[in-house]
Amino acid sequence: MYRELAHYLEKECDTFVTYPGFNSLYFWAGKRPPTHLNSTGWGPLSHRQQERILGSLRQAQRPLLVVVAAAVESWRDGAPPPIQPLVRSVQEDYREIQRIGRFIVFAPRRAPDTARHG
């Protein structure tokens, strides 16, 4: 599962963020994280730091978010306050494009033409 996910990320994005943090995926996929704010969980990060990470993803050409499916399912009942920026972004700004094992891969909702020309 991790090998398949790393291979997918290697081919399909220029950077990504995971929740919870699986920082070894950057090494396995040969990608750089969008910021140096790497944490195994987003809870310890301030909302400002989370917004900075999400802003860096918006600057990338082909960003992805990788989230454990159980977390996404738990967010249907509301976001825990410490990670509200992440959850809001997943729900409003991203769409599911792939499932690999227990992970859901999300891509920005922006239109492909906008991504290339804007």
Give the pLDDT confidence of 11-65 residue by residue, as tens digits: 999 999 998 888 899 999 999 888 877 666 666 788 888 888 888 988 999 999 9
Find the helix or strand (DSSP H, E) in which 107 lies.
strand 103-108
Angle CA 31–95–89, to nearest 5: 80
pLDDT of residue 97: 96
Structural domain of residue 48, as residue ranges? 2-117
| Position with higher pLDDT, 79 vs 72 | 72
Token digits of residue 57: 């993803």
**How many domains is the chain built from?**
1
Instruction: Say how many C-beta atoms besides its own lie within 10 A of residue 43's C-beta.
Output: 13
The structure's pTM equals: 0.84
